[in-house]
Structure 1
Amino acid sequence: MPAKLQVEKYRLALARLVTRGGPINLDSVAREAGSGAGSIKRSRKDYADLIKEIDAASVEPVNFEDAGRTEPSQDLKKEVKRLSALLDESLERELNLLEEVYTLREENRELRVGRPLIVVPPSARSTLPSFGQPS
């Protein structure tokens, strides 16, 4: 593809990245244009003006209010708060379940104390009488 057409393709990709608010660097512009990450090289003379435009766009602060979006840190803070609440709910649920397991084990122990459990070793089982089964 001729260099002029390629540069125009990269300029359109740069414009899309600027309006979308994504990270702007040589690799991101190249990928947005459908080329490989390292296809825009500073050593190529035909790309000098394009590289200046990309460099200028990469240092411009993004005004999120103009773009109609909230600041990323606010979104992240909301997500952290939401996930923290979910974690707290999960931990509370786990504690309740552990308490229930403890209570059931205690109840089970109490029942076993009331009725002693007789454990018959396998070697002694053959000497026990069989009820209802022919010998």
Structure 2
Amino acid sequence: MSEALSVYFEALERLVRRRGKINNDTVAIEAGRKKGSIKKSRPQHATLIAAIDAANERVRRPQSDASDRVQQAKDDSRELRQQLDAAYARELSLAREVMELRRELTSLRGGKVLPIREPRAKSDF
């Protein structure tokens, strides 16, 4: 391997350790060369470009896993919010039904005033 390629591979290893953005240009700049000095048209750069692509996949994968977990958490949160809203709707419906039944019971008993609370038993004191 030529000295120039070894400089590029050393730069690639440094970028992998830092978990930095990895592409042909960043490797070239890290190696102290100009942006665009790694070209696909040069046969001697074929192994280097393959190594850069592999390193990019290794470094990028955990970031995509993290974004997948964030998206999953957002979806779970949205679903739980919908379930909570449905539970509130059921609660309100049941409370309304209880109130209507209390009014009906009061009218059947002949009273005009609805009790706010049920009377306590004397043993509760």
Which interval holds the TM-score relative to the shorter structure?
A: 0.3 to 0.5
Higher helix share: 2
TM-score (norm 1): 0.43
